[in-house]
Amino acid sequence: MTASPARRLPSADRRQQLLSASEALFTAHGFEAVSMGDIAAALGISRPTVYSYFASTADLLSELLEGHLADLERRLVPLLTGTHAQRPLAAIFQLLVGERALLTLLGSGSGPTFAARRLAVLAGLEERLSQSLHPPEGRTRTPYLLTCVTLLLQATATHAVTAGLSPDQTAQLAGTLERFINAGLQGLDDEGGPARNL
């Protein structure tokens, strides 16, 4: 029995189908293990069709990460300016835990190309946080402080997702993480370093 040919989709729908299939394969098998042929096979289409939309799996990954990061930024802004602004770290952590696809994608590869892309995404997240979390007037930001906070938030959120923590456990972890970071910031103040800020 032969497989029925894939029906012709509008270009935008096909592009989204390719992104969705790629994300599923990357997160299930790891980025480096997935080829353009695998993506084509998963959708029952030809490799040339995949290549007509994306030049490589790296291009697919890049678009997926950019899309998730743009969505994260959109959801992040109200947390930093609204009612959560007094406790932004816990709110940001809870938001990251809800970004299962982004966190899983960030952990789906280890090669040099993927590592460079992951660092670029984290730098983008750090930049977005930096634009929203300004130090008070006349105070300076501790070098690499925001980098440490970004990495700690991302790594802890990834743990919450992969460990399958319940909402109550995640909320407890968010509170612990916020207290931990704030204690570290207070320690910088006590050592005579820059005033406590992000």
Q: What is the pLDDT of residues 139-164, one digit of tens each?
A: 666 777 788 888 888 899 999 988 99
Provide the mean pLDDT of the chain.
81
Report the greatest alpha carbon distance in the chain.
Answer: 76
Higher pLDDT, 121 or 24: 24
Into which CATH architecture does domain 11-51 fall?
A: Orthogonal Bundle (1.10)
Asked if pLDDT for residue 42 goes beyond 90, the answer is yes
Burial 23-55 (b: 16+ CB within 10 A, else e): bebbbeeebeebebebbbebbebeeebbeeebe
Q: What is the mean pLDDT of residues 116-142?
A: 72
Q: What's the predicted TM-score (pTM) here? A: 0.71
Supply the pLDDT for residue 1.
Answer: 43
- What stretches of 30-56 show up as alpha helix (H) in DSSP? 36-43, 47-51
Asked if pLDDT for residue 94 goes beyond 90, the answer is no
**DSSP 8-state assignment for residue 3:** P
Asked if pLDDT for residue 83 goes beyond 70, the answer is no
CB proximity list for 27: less than 8 A, separation 6 or greater: 101, 104, 105, 108
